[in-house]
Amino acid sequence: MAKTSVNESAITPPAYPATFRRLRANPHIRSLVEMARIHSSEFIQPIFADETLTERESVRHLNGVYSETLETLSASVERDIAAGVRKFLLFPVPAEKVEHGFRFDFATRAVQTLKSRFGSDIWLANDLCLCSYTAHGHCGIINAEGNRLLNDETVQILADYACVLAEAGADCIAPSDMTDGRIHAIRQTLDAHGFDHTAIMSYSAKFASKLYGPFRDVCKSAPSSAIALQGRTTYQISPDNLHDALQSTFRDLSEGADMVMVKPAAWYLDVVSRLRQETTAPIAVYHVSGEYAALELMAANGLLERSEGHLELWTAFKRAGANVIISYAAREAKAWIDAAESF
Ligand code: PBG
Ligand code: ZN
């Protein structure tokens, strides 16, 4: 056998079995070599305000989540601030369901209520969609035959709605409707009205998922089975279509989105990972109601420990490349992360 020189042995792969245990041996060395760490500052807490309620209600299937009244909203945010949350995604649920002539005054009042109380202590994004406003539950205006969503008519209304919210004090507009050209129209309208400082977080890679059930209950936004247009597959992305998700996201960035989003999150981490490789723009993930409910059900049944389940999942979001995590348990993030780090 030929004698191996020092240089050659340096590039020879190690003999099996390779050893990893020294790098896994204790929390000190593990934290030296760690690759993804979650911070509580990266979280956004979704909050619901429902015009029809006279007192706050806990949301079915979403452990720890409440639908607030205008009166209880501030106290809830106050508790969240105390727990370490400063960023919120507001879903206003209006009492009136119509086909046209939407009134955005409840949403406006909800934003004003929070911003007049908390000002720049909070960062408030407002979800922008029409599905909790329309009688049929679709995310925009439907044609007379009831079989098609009218893109451009919807975009016009959304742009006006965005402006009203910006005027009320929203820091960020988060369009979740999935019509074409909305980011462009919203950016233009905001800028034209002096709201160039209002950010846009686009639900850019939003899939036509079965995981939105608990959310649609709270927001009373499930698409009606009584009209021809069934479900949201004609405007949301097909779960199989990675390329559509990438292109929709690049399109929204080119139209002026400041931040993009992948939604749902856990079942779509390949999309996050691919987007991370293709763009330097900030990427948010939305751990949606169905995903959250599934994890909470496991915890409730003793199949995992609640905080450990969420922490592992949030770490997976970071590992895949997400910058921002939207979670119904955002209000627990600081306490859970602090506890996990105090070994
Ligand atoms: C509305 C909207 C939905 C969600 C956020 N905004 C549901 C839908 O498209 O029907 C889902 C959030 C969740 O399930 O937690 N456009
Ligand atoms: Zn919608």
Counting from 1 in the atom list of ligand 1, the atom nearest the Cα of 176 is 16
The model's confidence at residue 343, banded by pLDDT at 50, 70 and 90, is low
**Is-catalytic flag, 115?**
no
Cα 86 to Cα 19, 52, 69, 83, 157, distances in angstroms: 43, 26, 20, 9, 29
Between 285 and 10, name the one with better pLDDT: 285
- Model confidence at 5, in pLDDT bands (50, 70, 90)? low
pLDDT band at residue 116 under the 50/70/90 scheme:
very high
- Ligand 1 mean position, distance from CA 188 (Å): 25
| HEC sequence for 117-155 | HHHHHCEEEEEECCCCCECCCCCCCECCCCCCECHHHHH
In this prediction the pTM is: 0.95
User: What confidence tens digit (pLDDT) does each residue in 294-331 have?
Assistant: 999 999 999 999 999 999 999 999 999 999 999 999 99
Catalytic residue among 3, 87, 206, 318: 206
Average pLDDT over residues 83-98: 97
Q: For position 6, what pLDDT does the model report?
A: 54
Nearest partner of 49 among 140, 121, 110, judged by Cα: 110
Quickly state the pLDDT bin for 342 (edges 50, 70, 90).
Answer: confident
Of the residues 97, 210, 220, 263, only one is catalytic, namely 263
Atom of ligand 1 nearest to the CA of 206: 9
Average pLDDT, the chain: 95
CA of 158 to the centre of ligand 2 (A): 11
The gap from C-alpha 273 to its chain's centroid, in whole angstroms, comes to 16
Give Cα 97 distance to the centre of its chain: 24
Nearest-atom index, ligand 1, CA of 211: 14
Residue 214: pLDDT over 70 = yes
Which domains does the chain carry? Answer: 40-341 (3.20.20.70)
1 pLDDT tier (thresholds 50, 70, 90): very low
Q: Whose CA is nearest to atom 6 of ligand 1?
A: 176
Least-confidence region, from 44-53, 149-158, 215-224:
215-224
Ligand 1 neighbourhood includes 176 CB (under 6 angstroms): yes
The secondary structure of residue 172, as a DSSP letter, is: E
CA distance 72 to 66: 10
Tens of pLDDT, residues 259-274: 999 999 999 999 999 9
Is the CB of 289 within 6 Å of ligand 1? yes
Is there a catalytic annotation at residue 318? no
Please choose from 157, 173, 176, 182 the residue to mutate so as to test ligand 1's pocket, defined by most ligand atoms within 8 A of CB.
176
